[in-house]
Structure 1
């Protein structure tokens, strides 16, 4: 993290480096001129494209404020100019705020490594105090999850008639504590009301983003306490217990005790679905590099070679939300199954990752659904064909992985050369548009489905975001309503990339005798 922010380590202590890292990370938000340092993670060619089109972020907050000004009444009235700044603002998210969020969270709570966990509503427990943590800021939730096993608090819960304390999660806070502590994600965005309706949830603690407006009224119908912790996100009727860095431990204990105190108030109509699935999560870009190359030769070389020789046809990120206008998880799971069957390695974050996990195919056993080539790579390395990379903010890990694959060599000299694509099939949140935009501006083909993106009525804007961005950035963002057509388009795009790299024909593996090996050595 420190090196990426341009901090010189020299002979500094860990505390000194940590202080400088925190100060530099914070300064990028208020920075007004120049370039944010984190774009240096991207391939050199990509950086030059951004500079050429004047979309390199000068500072994270600056671009957001300027966007608000440009879209005020009577200011920027040229669609391409507005969209250029939308790109700049999105890049300040993906290569700025999100990258910082991932790096700092890894520093504070450790970089994830693979672990086995369980998911779905069946992870609620009838005889324990159930605490659901929900939102996108994991700091308080990490503390709650860690304290839930403390003897003093467990005994307190037992004094209220429960057998223990069960912490589970929803949305990206769930993904964060899953990746580091193995806490079960019981659902994604469209599962939050269902969790309360089981009658088994003593307390739901929420921070920010994707919190349904219905929760305040819904919890009144059950015994569930709804607790907000962010000063930026209060809810009428909820108990507000504001989190500050200095009161984390005290506040977490108070919340756990509040939940325990509520256990005797269950109304008797508890209905927990008997459904749960195993999953493997915790694939950071650092661990993937180690996993592929080993302790002493960490490298993306085996992955690059697998793509070059055709055993892996490409990499597709299936990310993003659920949408109430669609059957929950249907598109996520359809695309995931179809792509691994065709030898595409799938990486996932956010609600998309939880949807696949709930479906039970985020385990090595899902290898039976994978194509022969992908299966051979996964079996050799010991990974599932679908990799859970974390929360929505951890889409930055995908950017880093793409950059490292380029730097490893053999697959072009920019992200736009890679046989890769991104899909948000059930998008709902505005930030999904930001994520899609920074991936397109990074050189990736991005397809949205489900709910139309809010530019569909303008042919001119659609043309800019597809053909225009393709010419400028080597990537594009488009909406395709029909999911089968979307799948075909993604596959065609990736195959076109393979053809451009001249790796579209599978290389025949040749077994060499000793004489042939000696001839190679003599060359």
Structure 2
């Protein structure tokens, strides 16, 4: 008989105390969570380094990761061709996810304009006009509906165009765009780029890793400056552009005496509709008749970030906690739409007798209840969800154990609000940001984004990395699951400025902002691109995005979407460091191409580190290199976090 696998100690799995409590309870209840599945399912060492090709039936062909050039595939493909193809297909898949999301939002926008969908409306007409004008659509003296329809047709080209340049190229800094044109990486249309990427990585097509990389960049740029940017802009137009709001996070936001409904996924329209359903007096009365004091709507993962930013709804946790939150027994319904939804949620939900509901035709799960969200009549879906949750509350049988842990922080920053925050209503500008980078108060800017991964200690790298960065006067922008890791650690409130270096702390205290600015869901990384473009436009920090003292990092990434995001930042000119692992065979020419050669060709470059302090060292060194190139460098003493700083963090949390 095989020896039972020894479970990992809970303290080695997560830094999130709420999740730790629920892992312990799940083990006592005999319920397996994905942390323990990750322990029992060891990663394939060949696949982990992208050295396996399974693109035809002559293989799969496994390369030797220790001596990558000692063999080739059956067709003769070298390790560089194989790794480049695998990397390109990850970018294609990630781009497809964001692009499909964006296209769904654009179709909803069209139906709202045409009056086919009456449950949603244009909440931010000012942003609609600003986006239209940025794309050179005439607005003066025209009806808003006509401008909106022209904007729809222009943005539709992001997906359907087969030649030319996608519309958002008009928002790219001139020298960056000219560099892309010279390099042949300007995206024509997302559908064409994804299709060509998949074709060129098929057996017997493109077998030059440098040529494959060009299409990788073009595909990724169709995501960042295309599908993702369209999704963010349309979401803002339809549901309102976020502005800062104080929000409570962590599992303590669940309430034993209320009907708790968790919304998990990525498309904001599900949450926008259920917000209305949960506030309906008839349904609230039904909840009270069942013995509840009310209905408690709580977000998780990225759609939770959207609702948190726009409505101030509480947020229970990031991707790694989505199973653990069900272990509380307090969740009366979990509803999901698309992306980052674990199939294992169904089994955990069943054990705790929690209705588990899918709502999107693109993302059904075997055995789950499916209630389709029809955008022309969303309440027929969301009202039923609330009713099922009320029924479960009334018939609760499992004991309820809610971790009494919460943290408060400020979320909902956007490009527009940062512009206002720095300059005010009548002189909004990124000039104060640029000026404070030039004078050295702010060393640089870092986008710390991405997922959590059960093969990393949950939240640890995100938190430790950001503490290092802000202590060294680096302003941090956050999206996705990383944002929740920092929120739970108390780093998203103004009090966190006490942990920043003297220059950044001075700016934060003057403006009244935290040193970590939460921008929203993972698709909202496009906000960072627009902010970077504005920094170039304002002047003083170079002529293209590659000149900026700006970096990016995904410490615990797990999704193909993260690879696409990383590549569109690299192609835009940014140094991007990934943690935990990287889909690359070490010592290959393709690795050197991504990690060194791209920068020499005028792009950004990739980096990798497994330790958060090493990530910080790499990122800060790159910022300092860019400062030196701009002639704004000055000597600084790099400070590392000590025990006193950790105690201070605990006090601010």
When the two structures are superposed, what TM-score results if normalisation uses the length of structure 1? 0.95
Partner of 2:411: 281
Do residues 359 (structure 1) and 504 (structure 2) align?
Answer: no
Post-superposition offset of 1:172: 0.5
Q: Return the match for 1:129 from 244, 259, 266.
A: 259
Partner of 2:632: 503
Partner of 2:474: 344
Do residues 480 (structure 1) and 609 (structure 2) align?
Answer: yes
Does structure 2 retain, via aligned residues, the 8 Å contact 1:145–1:183? no
Q: Structure 2: which 5+ runs fail to align? A: 1-130, 637-653
Alignment of 1:287-436 (within 5 A): 287-436=417-566
Partner of 2:582: 453
Distance 1:126 1:80, change over 3 A: same
Partner of 1:92: 222
Query: How far apart are the structure 2 equivalents of 1:484 and 1:493?
Result: 14
> Structure 1, residues 299-319: CA drift from partner, whole Å, max 9, x if none?
011111110110000001110
Does structure 1 retain, via aligned residues, the 8 Å contact 2:536–2:542? yes
Post-superposition offset of 1:366: 0.7
Alignment of 1:484-495 (within 5 A): 484-495=613-624
Query: How far apart are the structure 2 equivalents of 1:184 and 1:23?
Result: 36
Query: How far apart are the structure 1 equivalents of 2:293 and 2:302?
Result: 28
Post-superposition offset of 1:358: 0.8
How many residue pairs get matched? 506
> Structure 1, residues 253-309: CA drift from partner, whole Å, max 9, x if none?
121112112212222411100000001001110010011111101101111111011
Distance 1:180 1:62, change over 3 A: same
Query: How far apart are the structure 1 equivalents of 2:365 and 2:237?
Result: 31
Query: How far apart are the structure 2 equivalents of 1:60 and 1:301?
Result: 33
Moved more, 487-496 or 144-153: 144-153
State the SS of the aligned residue for 1:185.
coil
Post-superposition offset of 1:75: 1.1
Query: How far apart are the structure 1 equivalents of 2:473 and 2:623?
Result: 12
Post-superposition offset of 1:485: 2.2
Query: How far apart are the structure 2 equivalents of 1:25 and 1:223?
Result: 44
When the two structures are superposed, what TM-score results if normalisation uses the length of structure 2? 0.76
> Structure 1, residues 3-27: CA drift from partner, whole Å, max 9, x if none?
2333221322111122222232223
Query: How far apart are the structure 2 equivalents of 1:16 and 1:259?
Result: 42
Post-superposition offset of 1:28: 1.9
Please tell me the root mean square deviation across aligned C-alpha atoms, in Å: 1.3
Query: How far apart are the structure 1 equivalents of 2:193 and 2:352?
Result: 43
Partner of 1:113: 243
Query: How far apart are the structure 2 equivalents of 1:481 and 1:364?
Result: 29
Alignment of 1:131-210 (within 5 A): 131-210=261-340
Partner of 1:517: none
Query: How far apart are the structure 2 equivalents of 1:431 and 1:474?
Result: 20
Post-superposition offset of 1:367: 1.2
State the SS of the aligned residue for 2:582.
coil
Does structure 2 retain, via aligned residues, the 8 Å contact 1:6–1:37? no
Do residues 261 (structure 1) and 261 (structure 2) align?
Answer: no
Query: How far apart are the structure 2 equivalents of 1:207 and 1:327?
Result: 27
Query: How far apart are the structure 1 equivalents of 2:358 and 2:601?
Result: 43
State the SS of the aligned residue for 2:378.
helix
Does structure 2 retain, via aligned residues, the 8 Å contact 1:200–1:271? yes
Post-superposition offset of 1:458: 5.5
Query: How far apart are the structure 1 equivalents of 2:407 and 2:423?
Result: 30
Partner of 2:96: none
Query: How far apart are the structure 2 equivalents of 1:145 and 1:119?
Result: 18
Post-superposition offset of 1:505: 2.2
Query: How far apart are the structure 1 equivalents of 2:586 and 2:333?
Result: 43
Query: How far apart are the structure 2 equivalents of 1:143 and 1:86?
Result: 37
Does structure 1 retain, via aligned residues, the 8 Å contact 2:165–2:186? yes
Moved more, 239-248 or 430-439: 239-248
State the SS of the aligned residue for 1:108.
helix
Alignment of 1:69-88 (within 5 A): 69-88=199-218
Bigger relative contact order, structure 1 or 2, given CA contacts below 8 A and separation 6+? 2
Query: How far apart are the structure 1 equivalents of 2:260 and 2:162?
Result: 46
Query: How far apart are the structure 2 equivalents of 1:9 and 1:318?
Result: 36
Does structure 2 retain, via aligned residues, the 8 Å contact 1:130–1:259? yes
Partner of 1:511: none
Does structure 1 retain, via aligned residues, the 8 Å contact 2:268–2:303? yes
Does structure 2 retain, via aligned residues, the 8 Å contact 1:440–1:473? no
Query: How far apart are the structure 2 equivalents of 1:474 and 1:72?
Result: 26
Does structure 1 retain, via aligned residues, the 8 Å contact 2:157–2:166? no
Post-superposition offset of 1:506: 7.4
> Structure 1, residues 391-444: CA drift from partner, whole Å, max 9, x if none?
111100000000101111111111111111001000000010000000001110
Moved more, 287-296 or 245-254: 245-254
State the SS of the aligned residue for 2:335.
strand
Query: How far apart are the structure 2 equivalents of 1:196 and 1:22?
Result: 40
